[in-house]
């Protein structure tokens, strides 16, 4: 993938967004976080190159399809896959079991809660597959979470793009995008930090069942 996410989406538009979200949700790492593509669509919308409704619809559909693929793989692969993913993300066995308890106790609401934390989406999908969460429950949680985070990141990108344009005037896309992305990521990081604290508090309150 050459250039910034905004350059990529300016060329491939919604098809590019669908592909990027689908690949990441399937468990394949991307060179840049998938959230940046949602931010980029908000940035492009500020310049008249995209809109919120199709962006949210495309991102939600891609998340639903991609996460289902990984969910089915996890159901087949079982706990060894969960251990590999959790350890790669720095999760200890105790934290992993607390997330399991949270997900088992809250069902679709737990899936929404965990998937709204950047960095936990893939782990949540694998966890749901390993625990054999019923697919309708899993799919509902994914769709609600995807619609929520795609909307949030779209408008963060839109706002950051508008602010950068007012400060910088009309400049080339490649020159404006890094500043808009930096501002959007700073806002998103603050929101993610606050949400992660809520998830940690919920996980800490969840009862932990002893392992086998």
pLDDT digits (tens, 9 = 90+) for 81-115: 777 777 666 666 767 677 777 777 778 888 888 88
Residue 212 lies in a domain: no
Residue 210 lies in a domain: no
Residue 52 lies in a domain: yes
Task: Quote the percentage of the chain above a pLDDT of 90.
Answer: 22
Residue 211 lies in a domain: no
Domain that holds residue 76: 5-205
Given this model, what pLDDT does residue 165 score? 57
**Rounded to two decimals, what is the model's pTM?**
0.72
Range with the poorest average pLDDT among 61-70, 108-117, 146-155: 108-117
Given this model, what pLDDT does residue 143 score? 94
Given this model, what pLDDT does residue 210 score? 46
* One-character DSSP codes across the chain: --S-HHHHHHHHHHHHHHHHHHHHHTT---SS-THHHHHHHHHHHHTTS--HHHHHHHHHHHHHHHHHHHHHHHHHH-HHHHHHHHHHTT--HHHHHHHHHHHHHHTHHHHHHHHTSTT-HHHHHHHHHHTT--HHHHHHHHHHHHHHHHHHHHHHHHHHHHHHHHHH-S--HHHHHHHHHHHHHHHHHHHHHHHHHHHHHHHHHS--PPP-
Number of separate domains in the chain: 1
Residue 119 lies in a domain: yes
Residue 89 lies in a domain: yes
Residue 35 lies in a domain: yes
């Amino acid at each position: 993938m050459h250039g910034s996410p905004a350059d990529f989406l300016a060329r491939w538009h919604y098809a590019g967004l669908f592909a990027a979200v689908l690949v990441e949700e399937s468990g394949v790492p991307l060179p840049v976080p998938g959230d940046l593509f949602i931010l980029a669509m908000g940035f492009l919308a500020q310049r008249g190159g995209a809109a919120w409704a199709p962006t949210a619809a495309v991102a939600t559909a891609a998340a639903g399809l991609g996460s289902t693929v990984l969910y089915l793989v996890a159901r087949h692969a079982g706990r060894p896959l969960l251990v590999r993913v959790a350890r790669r993300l720095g999760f200890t066995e105790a934290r992993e079991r607390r997330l399991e308890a949270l997900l088992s106790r809250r069902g679709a609401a737990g899936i929404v809660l965990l998937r709204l934390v950047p960095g936990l989406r893939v782990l949540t999908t694998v966890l749901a597959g390993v625990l054999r969460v019923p697919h309708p429950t899993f799919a509902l949680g994914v769709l609600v979470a995807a619609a929520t985070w795609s909307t949030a990141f779209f408008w963060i990108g839109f706002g950051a793009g508008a602010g950068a344009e007012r400060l910088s005037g009309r400049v080339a896309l490649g020159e404006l995008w890094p500043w808009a992305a930096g501002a959007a990521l700073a806002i998103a990081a603050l929101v993610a930090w606050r949400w992660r604290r809520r998830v940690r508090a919920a996980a800490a309150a969840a009862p932990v069942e002893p392992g086998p």
